[in-house]
């Protein structure tokens, strides 16, 4: 996570990235990442329902039934999802779910295995 820049205002190293913005938790400063950086997920902070950090390639378990647009069924609670990829946005986990195919999930509805 050392790839993130220090806060330009207070020089804090505890900055994090959220939806294309860098945010400093110490002084509340927010500034925009450069356009290229939004393509990368290296600095993305995505946490599961327990507050554990998730990373690309992690396996997670779905913690509640999730309705899927365009599918007849729902993804059942307890479904295991392998090899997730973190992405920007509201649905911040890109993955493939057995029986459903590629889709995006919200990190708040999964827990890390
Ligand atoms: Zn700061």
Distance CA 52, CA 66 (A): 21
Q: What's the half-sphere exposure (Cβ side, CA atoms, 13 Å) at 9?
A: 12
| Chain mean position to CA 55 | 8
Q: Could you tell me the distance, in angstroms and rounded to a whole number, from the CA of residue 24 to the centre of ligand 1?
A: 5
| Chain mean position to CA 44 | 7
Q: Over the stretch 38-58, which tens digit does the pLDDT of each residue have? A: 444 456 889 999 999 999 999
Q: Over the stretch 60-110, which tens digit does the pLDDT of each residue have? A: 999 999 988 777 789 999 999 999 999 998 899 999 999 899 999 999 999
pLDDT at 111 over 90: yes
Per-residue pLDDT, averaged over 26-46, amounts to 72
Q: Could you tell me the distance, in angstroms and rounded to a whole number, from the CA of residue 30 to the centre of ligand 1?
A: 8
85 C-beta neighbours (distance < 10 Å), count: 16
Per-residue pLDDT, averaged over 11-30, amounts to 92
Q: Could you tell me the distance, in angstroms and rounded to a whole number, from the CA of residue 25 to the centre of ligand 1?
A: 7
pTM (2 decimals)?
0.61
């Amino acid at each position: 996570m050392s790839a993130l820049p220090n806060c330009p205002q207070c020089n804090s190293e505890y900055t994090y990235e959220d939806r294309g913005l860098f945010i400093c938790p110490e002084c509340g400063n927010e500034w925009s990442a450069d356009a290229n950086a939004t393509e990368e997920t290296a600095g993305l902070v995505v946490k599961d329902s327990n507050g554990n950090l998730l990373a690309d390639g992690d396996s997670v378990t779905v913690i509640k039934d999730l309705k899927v647009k365009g599918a007849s069924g729902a993804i059942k609670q307890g479904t295991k999802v392998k090899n997730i990829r973190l992405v920007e946005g509201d649905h911040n986990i890109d993955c493939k779910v057995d029986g459903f195919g590629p889709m995006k999930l919200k990190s708040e509805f999964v827990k890390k295995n």
